[in-house]
A = this chain, B = another copy of it.
Amino acid sequence: MGTGRMGTGRVEQVAGKTQSAKASRRRKAVGSGRAVAPRPRSGAASSAMDLAQLDDRVGYFLRRLQIAIFKDFIRTLAPVDVRPAQYSVLVLITANPGRSQAVIGKALNIERARLARMLHELERRQWIERRLSSADGRSHCLFMTAVGKEAMVRIEALAGQHERHMVKFIGGDLRQLLLDRLRKFGKS
């Protein structure tokens, strides 16, 4: 499951592209009519929906819960335009300054290729800084900038707000139980 688009963060830069996108869409739309094979007719069913075996698949419900949680996270942190993966990286750099990309990536299970791009974005926003390691010329040591540390104050405030939403959403008891039981799956 990738994470796809989800939520309403990052709305700014879409506006400028609307016109040309529309135009090219219209251009390409010419002659794109799919040859649809004629289908047989059938009466439509209309009783209540049965989830059947899906009702016993934890994965299914966990997935839906997780999507709802990420949506709230993205919505809550929209003012600072920080997504879940970015947040986890920022927290780790803040708490562990000077670590290499490889180490941070492994801790969060983020591919180094993906992390490289994400760090470029965070560097562009002047929140983090990369310094070549004096011990290993291949490694980049990661640090928060002064601007980044300042931004983290607001980011953590919003993240805390999101966490309080979770308490209201799934209940404080279930939240705590999940934390206690799931921590072991999130390490390494």
Contact = CB atoms under 8 A, between A and B. Distances in A.
Given A43-B98, A60-B88, A170 B181 contact: yes
B58 A132 contact: no
Interface of A: 1-6, 39-45, 49-70, 73, 84-85, 88, 91-92, 94-100, 103, 107, 109, 130-136, 139-141, 143, 156, 159, 162-163, 166, 170, 174-175, 177-179, 181-183, 185-187
A134 to B, nearest CB: 4
B182 A42 contact: no
17 contacts: A1-B84, A3-B3, A39-B130, A39-B140, A41-B131, A43-B98, A43-B141, A45-B96, A45-B99, A50-B92, A51-B186, A54-B88, A59-B69, A59-B84, A62-B65, A63-B70, A64-B182
Contacts of A43: 98, 133-135, 141
A72 B55 CA distance: 18
A50 B103 CA distance: 12
Give chain A's interface secondary structure class: helix
A48 to B, nearest CB: 9
- How many of these chains are in the complex? 2
Nearest to A63: B66
Given A1-B2, A2-B2, A95-B50, A133 B62 contact: no
Which of A40, A63, A143, A187 has its CB near the most chain B CB atoms (within 10 A)? A63
A62 B62 contact: yes
A69 B99 CA distance: 29
